[in-house]
Amino acid sequence: MAVSKVLMPKLSEAMESGKIIKWLKKEGDRVQSGDILAEVETDKADVEMEAFGSGVLRKILQGAGSTVPVGSLIGVIAEPDEDIAAVASQAGAPAAPAASAAPATPAPAAAAAMSSRPAAVPPQPRREDPAARTPSPASAPTAPTRTAPAAAAPATALRPAAAASPAPGDGGRLKASPLARKIAAQSGVDLHVVHGSGPGGRIVRRDVEAASAAPAVRPVAAPVAPGVEFEDRPLSQIRAIIAKRMPLSKAPVPHFYVSSEVAMDRGWSLREELNALEGQPKISVNDLVLRACALALLQHPGVNASFQGESIRVFYRAHIGIAVALEDGLITPVLRDVQAKSLGQIAAEARDLAERARQRKLRAPEMSGATFSISNLGMFDVTEFSAIINPPEGAILAVGAVRKVPVVTADGLGVGRRMMLTLSCDHRVMDGAMGARFLQDVKRLLEEPLRLMV
Amino acid sequence: MTRTFDVVVVGSGPGGYVSAIRCAQLGLGVAVVEDDRPGGVCLNWGCIPTKALLRNAEVLNLVQHASDFGITVGEVRADYAQAVQRSRAVADRMAKGVEFLFRKNKVTLVPGTGTLKNARTVEVKGGAGTETLEAGRAVILATGSKPRSLPGVSIDEKLVISSNGAVRNESRPASIVVIGAGAVGVEFADVYAAYGAQVTLLEALPRVLPIEDEDAGALITRLFGRRGITIKTGVKVSAVKPGGPGAIVETDGGRFEAQQVLMAVGRAARTDGIGLEAAGVQMERGFVKISPTMETTAKGVYAIGDMAGAPLLAHKAMAEGVVAAEAIAGQHPRPIDYGNVPSCTYCRPQVASIGASEAKTKENGREVTVGKFPFTASGKAVAMGETDGFVKVVADKATGEILGVHIVGPEATEIIHEFAVGRTLEATLEEIMHTIHAHPTLSEAALEATLAALGQAIHI
């Protein structure tokens, strides 16, 4: 069997480099084609990396924590008796930093060598660095380059992750009951901003419940060591890619915007009626918008289109990207063939995509191939906004909140539910009228929502 | 004569004596008024002496079953009078212990009956005449409760006895009807049956130990039935008359005859004649109305223990005594979590619980997971020869919050505290799961029931 190289895979269209989170196989392990070798952090998600050859994982050339360009050699799979010296020596050539780029340990004995040569092998996940156990200020975590108050260091030396976050209680350790932690995790409450009312400031269940019931109020300013005026936070992968790509859209793509107000009264009651049915997935306003857009895109393929330089590519299927806000950026998982899906299907699949996007559990194909996108900031009570097109798509719809507003009726003033839609269009692909007609159809579908059901 | 103290406590039961000692620890001068021996019902007529009797019943049962262990004993003779005498000796010793604690903490014991004249003045009528106690800071009322009866049935402590009489009577009746299958009724039924009496246990509600989880009541019914105790649930007593061997109990479910009747239908606050109106203390549904720090509607007058409402348990009274004392001393005591008070019945096998029953959690709309582990699968229980019972854990499905724990079995009343601590600390199933339990112990059943709730029980 041939020697096979393990290369940093290109897991999404935009991926240029990947960070190895951890190896799930160690040197000397036998692997089958298709086994999960390692977890890799790409610009958009944490992805499992599969083996493309069978044999023994003879060599790991990039340890956990290394970031390497796509296509770099990161490991070697071969039979135990095969000579891999030639292949392994290619390592480092395209690859970047690689402090762990491996002295030539005789391969099969590698597992045994691990304990005696910690520097030569990837750090074992979950095992704490022995240095971190030493309670000295010098070992305080340095990740975000905020000067850590020295007093906090000894208490936090064993828990580097918690040290950077201001926390109630003593010495930076977050004091919270197990139940409070679980409820917080399930309700999305950040324990760092919760006031603990238990003994010694411990966060208990009632504190989390109160925090999740109250509107999310972040503390005005987190306590910071005196004298610190700012901190430089390293870009997350996702923030870096957004920073790089958005100017590539906004500057070269000539945007124009069309807006329309949609009467959501009927859409709202339809949704309520649907959600009262038992055993049905709960339908959100965004699901209605998704369905309306898919149907309108079929009618207006000119909007469902991409500028290709010499031509315009028009799509006949609606693969819609759904912008999902993350802690450190946003991500746009793609719901495919929305035109062929019922509202219930859309609701279930969109929710699943969004949840997995937040957990960084999307698979690579789920993050590319959109023909159109929707960005909804209604949950933040945004009335209207305009979004930046995600190239090579030709348009993106920005959705505002459904608000109760005074409306003029035949008899005078009444209360109606209204929602603002703003379409950003690539002028190279379409003109104002085309965008406007599309938007008009979306509006009609939402205002006569039974059309969404047929 | 008038004496002034920072705090005057009326009653020296578990609520009163604990609050008095806590006040003294906090530097307050305290007087305790007591019209009986120190220790109240708990030490003198309730908890402690009944535990002594139940221990006798347990030892007797063990000796009777000595052959199970390959031990041959001669003729077994159990003298009930001696059991009661032992029980009295235990109570005496504990009451003396309270007197010792008072001396140690410089708490002044004032014998006599206390009556509020106003929110700061307690008049004490005793053998030595009348004395007035002025309270500089506060009065703590801790007068406890007394056995209740049914309408039209009077407790004469001869034909119809209460627990007060039962715990004193050195002669065991040949037969007895116990009305009420709560903790008191079930415990006396156990003692009398162990000593050979014909016992009939009546309960108006659908099952014995009605405040416990259904599974607990069902198992006790089965085990008591096996020991020859007649149990009738869902029957309402209409009258108790002299006749037959002693008394005839008429119910909507038939007539029951026995030499004596034990009235164990519950207890009522003991508030008559203590001057609540004079001080402006209001009642609510038969008990004194209190704030979270035990203060009554009269400023500076606190009420703790049975008189201040359910659950009528000594340990709840003690906890309230501490809260009242600390509040009076100007501290900010943590309010009592009334949802986290263990409930214990010391029959054989014991019954203990904390939190809500499975049925109650479902009524409250919680989606729960239930883990149950029988003592038949516990190595320690089998070695002891005490395999009746189970540990049942009811937890929230999503969070693993421990909503209720129900134990029937050997030392159930000890095992329950693992869960009491766990609930106080807001531990979830996982924390119990990750706690290594010594082997072999009865407490392993607590671990296994927890694992069962997580679908991971090993030993079943």
pLDDT along chain A (454 residues), means of 10: 77 75 86 83 75 83 84 85 74 42 39 36 38 40 40 33 37 81 86 84 89 59 59 74 80 90 94 86 93 94 89 90 86 92 92 88 84 94 93 94 91 92 94 94 94 87
Q: Where are the domains of chain B?
A: 2-146+268-338, 149-265, 349-453
Q: What is the CATH number of domain A167-222?
A: 4.10.320.10
A/B interface, count of CB pairs below 8 Å: 27
Chain A residue closest in CA terms to B428: A179
Note the pLDDT of residue A227: 62
The answer, yes or no, to whether residue B440 has pLDDT greater than 90, is yes
Measured distance CA(A364)–CA(A356) in Å, rounded = 12
> What sign has the CA pseudo-torsion B59, B61, B67, B73?
positive
CATH architecture of the region A4-120: Beta Barrel (2.40)
Quick one: which of B422, B365, B414 has its CA closest to B393? B422
pLDDT at B290 over 70: yes
Q: Which pLDDT does position A311 carry in this prediction?
A: 86
Q: Which residues of B touch A182 (CB under 8 A)?
A: 399-401, 428
In this prediction, residue B372 has a pLDDT band, given cuts at 50, 70 and 90, of: very high
pLDDT of A14 reads 67
Are the Cβ atoms of B427 and A179 closer than 8 angstroms?
yes
Portion of chain B with pLDDT greater than 70, in percent = 100
Closest CA–CA distance from residue B421 to any residue of chain A (Å): 12
Cα B83 from chain centre: 20
Superfamily of structural domain A238-453: Chloramphenicol acetyltransferase-like domain (3.30.559.10)
Tell me the residues of B at the A interface, defined by beta carbons under 8 Å apart: 334, 398-401, 425-428, 430-431
At A49 the pLDDT is: 80
| Cα Rg, chain B, nearest whole Å | 23
pLDDT at A79: 82
Residue contact A205–B426, C-beta within 8 A: yes
Residue B416 to residues B76, B318, B392, B409, B443, Cα–Cα distance (Å): 34, 18, 11, 11, 9
Instruction: Give the separation between CA A326 and CA A419, rounded to whole angstroms.
Output: 24
Which positions in chain A touch B398 (Cβ < 8 Å)? 186
pTM assigned to the model = 0.59
Residues A417, A265 contacting (CB under 8 angstroms): yes
* 8 Å CB contact of A182 and B400: yes
Q: How far is A197 from chain B (nearest CA, A)?
A: 11
CATH number assigned to the domain covering B2-146+268-338: 3.50.50.60
Distance from B159 to chain A by nearest Cα, in Å?
52
Q: How far apart are CA B315 and CA B47, in angstroms?
A: 10
Residue A263: both structure tokens together: 């009467």
Touching B: A residues 325-364, CB under 8 Å: none
Whether CATH 3.30.390.30 fits B349-453: yes
Fill in the DSSP letter of residue A140: S
Residue A52 is predicted with a pLDDT of 76
**Residue B112 pLDDT > 70:** yes
The rounded distance, in Å, linking the Cα atoms of B273 and B35 is 13
| Confidence band, pLDDT 50/70/90 cuts, at residue B75 | very high
Q: What is the interface pTM, i.e. ipTM, of the complex?
A: 0.79
- For CA atoms A141, A142, A143, A145, the dihedral sign is positive
Number of C-beta neighbours around residue B145 at 10 A: 22
Closest CA to B356 of B212, B230, B234: B212
Q: What is the DSSP string of B29-69?
A: -EEEEESSSTTHHHHHTSHHHHHHHHHHHHHHHHHHTGGGG
- Picking from A182, A187, A203 by the largest number of B CB atoms within 10 A of its own CB, the best residue to mutate is A182
The domain B149-265: what is its CATH number?
3.50.50.60
Among all chains, which residue has been given the structure tokens 């162990």? Answer: B194
| DSSP alpha helix (H) spans, B280-439 | 314-328, 358-363, 379-384, 412-424, 429-433
Long-range contacts of A106-114 (CB under 8 A, 24+ apart): A107/A27, A107/A28, A107/A56, A107/A58, A107/A59, A107/A80, A108/A28, A108/A56, A108/A58, A108/A80, A109/A28, A110/A26, A110/A27, A110/A28, A110/A58, A110/A59, A111/A26, A111/A27, A111/A28, A114/A26, A114/A27
- Do domains B2-146+268-338 and B149-265 share one topology? The answer is yes
Mean pLDDT (whole number) for B313-331: 97
Q: Which residues of A touch B401 (CB under 8 A)?
A: 179, 182, 205
Quickly tell me which residue has 């690859």 as its tokens.
A95
Distance CA B61, CA B410 (A): 14
Mean pLDDT of chain B: 96
Per-domain residue ranges of chain A: 4-120, 167-222, 238-453
